[in-house]
Chains A and B, each alone.
Chain A
Amino acid sequence: MLRFIFTRLSHMLIALFVITVIVFSLSHLTGSPIDALLPDDATQQQIDSLTEHLGLDRPYYVQYLTFLQNAAVGDFGDSTKWKGNTAAGVVLERLPATLKLGGLAVLISVAVAIPLGVLSAIWRGSIFDRMAGIIALLGQSFPAFWLGIILMWIFAVTLGWFPTSGYGGLSYMILPAIAMAWFQIAALTRLTRSAMLEVLDTEYVKLARVKGVSERAVIWKHAFRNAAIVPVTYFGVLAGSLLTGSVVVETVFAWPGTGLLAIDAIRGRDFPVVQSVVMFFAVFYLLANFLVDVLYAVVDPRIRFS
């Protein structure tokens, strides 16, 4: 188990290394960050002093190491748009809103998709199964941003059940969370269904039946416990999609989280903030995937003990 964690941890560090290289290169190779930081009519003296201040006159690898050093302690410089704040500080301030919304979206997707997937596997070929299949197809075809707008139009504008947009309690969160969960429900339903079908066909499920286990326990204890391994591995992907989703859905619903922050920062050409959002997201994503790997091992003893 320890070796397993160690391998996964090293994979994560390699990925993190590559990501820092990409982020670093983006800020330097695609054009000098000076252009982004200073107004167009900056004097040569201003440019020179900033270049020296940022260490841009030094070799790339030195600059990279400095960047890495700073990144390690969460220092990505100061925000140029939100003056007087560090870039990381701005991101951290917005993080809770995103996590709240993302958490609700995960909850909704799991609560809908798992039963839907399991039941459509049990009742394979039934009308229920076909309906679930249509839901999954629709889910994978809806662009999240448009779904958000349509939900807003129907449930907030026309029916008036929810506020249209902005930050607030549960009533503000429901529509954006649904828009975010929609695609995940589709993917997770398909995954759960096929995993469940596979497991229901195994000999150990047959043995559970012939030893007299009730049908309910056969499905939820013997079969689902094994099939659950597949959806669990999907949570890593889910974490990534939620970050992507947060950018889109927060923009649609004006939800003041990190996703909206990223868009605002790009419009304001606030590169330190964009950089910190990207790094935060990447670390979050890698961490989520690492946790999924560990969880995977907990669920499946074959991995735990090998």
Chain B
Amino acid sequence: MGASVLQVKNLRTVLDLSSGSVPVVDDVSFDVGAGETLGIVGESGSGKSMTALSIMQVLPQPIGRIESGEILLEQTNLVGMSDEEIAKVRGREIGMILQDPHTSLNPVFTVGNQVIEALQINNPGTPRRSLMTRVVDLLKKVNVADAARRVHAYPHQMSGGMKQRVVGAIAIAGAPKVIIADEPTTALDVTIQLQYLQLLREIQDETGTAILFITHDLGIVANLCHKLVVMYGGKIVESGTVSDVFRAPSHPYTEALLNSVPSVDQKVDRLYAIEGQPPALSADRKGCSFAPRCPYAQEICKRDVPQQEAGLSGADNHFASCWNMGRKT
């Protein structure tokens, strides 16, 4: 693992709603090195996708904005860059794979066209013809069968798995240092999911790119990631290496998530059997946002926000934010 390629420091992103400024990413920090995969885990609404959109600076307009913090790409702060500068970072430095392949490709252009566009952005002035061979290479690299013919296909003529491979090809077209994958396998069939994760791993082995893998599925994290951060209500509640966190989950939410992961030999009727709903967006919040659903919640949890402390594994890069750490029975 090399030095940090991407470092996020105290990131705070808000949505300006009619009810006021609501933080959706609150004091989030993490870093990921070359060849390393960081999993960001949480339910929908936990702020994990908003973190990704903040890094890319494609927050919903006009309501979303980064309020404070730094996003360092090899020492360069992306926060506060002009639109032109950040556009040069997108695709070239950081590639992204979106959740639903059925909606993330433009229906009126052929897939070849959409991959070429990504190549053109990274190689301005190169004639289309010479790029075409590279498109086929890229599609082969992401295991699109019959790539030479498929370049002329429109998205609606392909399966979801194929489309997501094309999106992957677009993401790696600029040979980015970081790839952000926002739940890339959620919309795919289980067998296709595994193939796709394998593909991501191969790409990483070959290019040494850092991957930010956003998911709600701890099973995938165990499989793919080196480190993880667990998000809840816009905050990181626990972070550490995958082995440390899985061995000694220190936050009740992580614990609950782990309990809800089906193991291979155990049939589970329902995933995520965590009682209650994730917190609604609101401007004024008090205490730990997990408190309403937490089986260990006490008075202090509802009153004060817990500070980050060393996690139960004892490792020096394992942290969690909970009033009850080590006091649970």
Contacts and interface: CB of A to CB of B under 8 A. Distances in A.
- A and B, direct touch (CB closer than 8 Å): yes
B106 A226 contact: yes
Contact of A125 (B62, B92, B154): B62
Q: How would you classify the secondary structure of chain A's contact residues: helix, strand, loop or mixed?
A: helix
Given A203-B100, A214-B87, A301 B154 contact: yes
A11 interface: no
Contacts of A301: 107-108, 154, 156
Given A207-B98, A302-B156, A305-B156, A212 B91 contact: yes
Interface residues of B, number: 35
Contact of B92 (A212, A222, A225): A212
B108 A202 contact: no
Q: How would you classify the secondary structure of chain B's contact residues: helix, strand, loop or mixed?
A: mixed
B107 A300 contact: yes
Contact of B117 (A206, A213, A300): A213
Interface range on chain A: under 10, 10 to 19, 20 to 34, or 35 or more? 20 to 34
A210 B121 contact: no
A257 B89 CA distance: 58
Contacts of B98: 203, 206-207, 210
A46 to B, nearest CB: 65
Contacts of B92: 212
Interface stretch (B166-174, B210-218, B290-298, B308-316): B166-174
Contacts of A211: 90-91, 95-96, 117-118, 121, 170-171, 173-174
Given A210-B58, A213-B117, A225 B108 contact: yes
Contacts of A209: 56, 58, 90
B284 interface: no
Interface string B78-112: 00000100011111101110111001111111000
26 contacts: A125-B62, A202-B103, A204-B106, A206-B104, A207-B104, A207-B167, A208-B117, A209-B56, A210-B94, A210-B96, A211-B90, A211-B96, A211-B173, A211-B174, A212-B90, A212-B118, A212-B122, A215-B83, A222-B106, A225-B108, A226-B106, A226-B107, A226-B108, A300-B107, A301-B108, A301-B156
Interface of B: 56, 58, 62, 83, 87-92, 94-96, 98-100, 103-109, 117-118, 121-122, 154, 156-157, 167, 170-171, 173-174
